Amino acid sequence: MERWPRLKLDDCVDLLAGFPFKSWQFTDDPDDVPLVKGENVSQGCILWEKSKETLENPATMRENDLVIAGVD
């Protein structure tokens, strides 16, 4: 059985460390950039009706960007 190669995430993507979004950055405007948080993720789907929106950092967030949270 052939195995997938083991790679570091940093070798495959551009990583940009940042800070959490502040509550004042969230809006309910459907034209803003969708933000999916842990509370919006369910087994096999994203609960879009619970999502908030943010537009505060349009220079650093672009369409098809993926934002993930890590635990220290």
**How does pLDDT run across 51-70, given as a tens digit for each residue?**
777 665 556 667 777 766 66
**How does pLDDT run across 7-34, given as a tens digit for each residue?**
888 888 877 777 777 778 787 777 777 7
Asked if 48 and 40 touch (Cβ cutoff 8 Å), the reply is yes
Phi, psi (deg, nearest 5) at residue 31: -85, -10
Phi, psi (deg, nearest 5) at residue 25: -85, -15
Q: Give the chain's length.
A: 72
